[in-house]
Amino acid sequence: VAQRAQTAIYAALFGVVVGSAALFFSHYATDAHFWQRFTFCYLLLGVAYTWYLFALLFINDLKPRRYQAYFREKIAVVIPCYDQDPQVVEQTIRTVLRARGLKQVIVIDDGSTNGVQERLRELVATLPITLHEFEEHAGKREVLRFATTRLLDEDVQFVVTVDSNTILDDDALVRVAEPLFDPEIGASTGSVLLRNERQNLLTRMIGTYTWINLNIQKQAQSVISNVVCCNGCLAAYRADLLREIVDDFANQQFLGERCTHSDDRHLTNLVLKRGYGVVYVAEATSWTEAPATARGFLRQQRRVKRGYIRESIYTLTYAWRVNPLLFAQTLCWDLIAPFLSFGLRIGLIVTAISNPRLIVTTIVPSWIVLTLVRNIFVPLRAGRKLPGLLLYIFYSELCLYWLNLWALFTVKNQSSVTRASTAQA
Amino acid sequence: MSVESPRHAAAQRTAAASRRVRAFRLASWLLIVPTLSFFSFSVVGGARGLESKPDYAGAVGRLAHVLPAVRSSR
């Protein structure tokens, strides 16, 4: 039934795209003001969503969440490794070992072909870590299933997943685990900063994009315990809950095919599906590397966008009964709004061709001002990221939106996980 | 004083920045709210303008004062 529901929702999204385009073209054929009313309603939706996000952020500033302090509960840290640079993964392991907390550190090599296993074997001899090697590449889902079902110590209470190119702050593990003392919270995720943010213009933009995703989107979602994706760089789960859901996680199918990407988003979905809350902890800081080339970044984003659509569809199949607010947010903003605006984008292209002066003198400046207002937290709380924000405005309009559309048509495409970081996952 | 479980002895902590940072963040809402209100009225007002129909009757009425009346005879 769930598979049929997902297929139906997926098909309906194409209906939304076609309907939006039809509405735009209808204003050439009829005197009716459908198009103007549609534009008005769409902008109203955008404004309402902005107020909703800002209200949540205000609540967060006014009354931050309180968690019990970490004492000496055991945390298992799982580090999946696939074709990672040996020096980078060694750095990751060493920062995990240095981080505060009673730990069991598990490293699983997922069938690497670059010889990183040799370095890992050397490390096992000198460091308190558990190493397991897969003969063939199986993916993060199988890695986590194996670690959870076969390698966890019995007294482990929390499982933290850390990407093999991530560096942790000393307090990151205990901070990200602390929300899990609340029995209603099933998972939590930490903040991700870019080690190479100042490398070039692209990485500056990605740094801003990541900051907005975390400090605006996830922070707001966290107020109502509805964070929709725990970042793979640093995510914590209750061990008993993970044991319960890990088989569903490993065996996920979409449109009849096994899923091999957007693992973190699905794992978070499974936690939310069981009625647990998911939160974001800004103080749990990790550092990773973003792709430094446009090609690498676009490849990463294509995968992220496909997962975004697939998992948003999955969310709709359960959220209507366990979390109505999450359902409404996913339906209206994550799924319908991007595709509903297809007609508006066509309208902008037509205007750009027929009246380029209007675009240059009015529409683009207005759009920049409005986007700056929507992201007012960047100049107010992260002033150094302002140049990145200006780049992000153009990138999101010229590229990100169309990637969404492209992802809709290729959502079944199974790309394997790349070594590049997934800071925006 | 002893406790049965050391877990319960652990203090509660607040996942927030320092008091000074928190005060600055709260104060920043004095700027954020008016800016967001202006943003909302601009967007909604601008979009509402798209929907309005031209005032043909008013335009004709104004023309009547500007142009000389023309009397036609059969």
Nearest to A242, CA basis, from A284, A188, A193: A188
**Minimum mean pLDDT range among A220-234, A306-320, B37-51:** B37-51
The string of DSSP codes covering A156-196 is EEEEEE--TT-EE-TTHHHHHHGGGGSTTEEEEEEEEEETT
Nearest to A178, CA basis, from A195, A190, A166, A168: A190
What is residue B54's predicted lDDT score, i.e. its pLDDT? 52
Confidence check: pLDDT of A205 > 70: yes
- Name the CA dihedral angle for A108, A112, A116, A118, rounded to a multiple of 10 degrees: 80
Confidence check: pLDDT of A19 > 80: yes
- Name the CA dihedral angle for A200, A205, A206, A209, rounded to a multiple of 10 degrees: 170
Confidence check: pLDDT of A325 > 80: yes
Residue B26 forms contact with A (CB below 8 Å)? yes
Cβ separation B35–A373 shorter than 8 A: yes
Mean pLDDT of A190-195: 93
Q: Comparing B74 with A360, which gets the higher pLDDT?
A: A360
Residue B37 forms contact with A (CB below 8 Å)? no
- B interface test, pick of A35, A47, A63, A285 with most B CB neighbours within 10 Å: A47
Q: Comparing A169 with B72, which gets the higher pLDDT?
A: A169
Residue A274 forms contact with B (CB below 8 Å)? no
Confidence check: pLDDT of B3 > 80: no
In chain B, what residues touch A368 (CB-CB under 8 Å)? none
C-alpha span between A148 and A240 (Å, rounded) = 9
C-alpha span between A352 and A280 (Å, rounded) = 41
How many angstroms away from the CA of B69 is the closest CA of chain A? Answer: 32
C-alpha span between A366 and A363 (Å, rounded) = 5
Exposed e or buried b for every residue in A209-223, given b needs 16+ CB within 10 A?
bbbbbbbbbbbbbbb
Residue B11 forms contact with A (CB below 8 Å)? yes
Confidence check: pLDDT of A168 > 80: yes
How many angstroms away from the CA of B54 is the closest CA of chain A? Answer: 13
What is residue B59's predicted lDDT score, i.e. its pLDDT? 60
C-alpha span between A138 and A109 (Å, rounded) = 10
Residue A64 forms contact with B (CB below 8 Å)? yes
How many angstroms away from the CA of A251 is the closest CA of chain B? Answer: 36
pLDDT band at A414 (very low <50, low <70, confident <90, very high): low
Residue entry with tokens 């690498």? A296
Which residue among B10, B12, B31 sits closest to A71, beta carbon to beta carbon?
B10
In chain B, what residues touch A376 (CB-CB under 8 Å)? 31-32, 35-36
Confidence check: pLDDT of A256 > 90: no
3-state secondary structure at position A38 = helix
A59-104 confidence digits (pLDDT tens): 999 998 889 999 889 999 999 999 999 999 999 999 999 999 999 9
What is residue B2's predicted lDDT score, i.e. its pLDDT? 39
Residue A382 forms contact with B (CB below 8 Å)? no
Is the ipTM value over 0.90, yes or no?
no
Residue A62 forms contact with B (CB below 8 Å)? yes
Cβ separation B47–A44 shorter than 8 A: yes
Cβ separation B13–A58 shorter than 8 A: no
C-alpha span between A349 and A355 (Å, rounded) = 10
In chain A, what residues touch B43 (CB-CB under 8 Å)? 43, 46-47, 370
Which residue among B15, B44, B47 sits closest to A66, beta carbon to beta carbon?
B15
Cβ separation B40–A40 shorter than 8 A: no
Contact A236, A67 (CB under 8 A): no
Cβ separation A40–B28 shorter than 8 A: no
